[in-house]
Amino acid sequence: MKIGDKLLKELSRRYEPESTIDKKFGRYDLTFRTDADGNPTMLFIGSRNAQGRIVGERFARVMVRDPSGTLLKDHWDAKGRA
């Protein structure tokens, strides 16, 4: 599974720092965790089961910054089934 442009646009927003956010996106359920700056860093996408956990795919965000804080690389890696 690939992350589409619409979902990437949703994930490029800033959210509450150091939190876990549950959302509905189209036909998918999303859960993502944010870092200290409010950027989503871990994404679980699929359908939510009776226990509230996501059954689907897991993605991790790679953000590489230089010493001055400029963003050099920003991409999502597929980590397998969740």
| pLDDT single digits (tens) 68-78 | 989 999 999 99
pLDDT at 73: 95
Query: Is 49:55 a contact under the CB 8 Å cutoff?
Result: yes
pLDDT digit string, tens, across residues 2-55: 889 999 999 999 999 999 999 999 999 999 999 999 999 999 999 999 999 999
Task: Write down the pLDDT at residue 68.
Answer: 93
The answer to whether residues 31 and 21 touch, using CB atoms and an 8 Å cutoff, is yes
pLDDT greater than 80 at residue 1: no
Number of domains comprising the chain: 1
Domain residues for the domain of 33 are 5-81
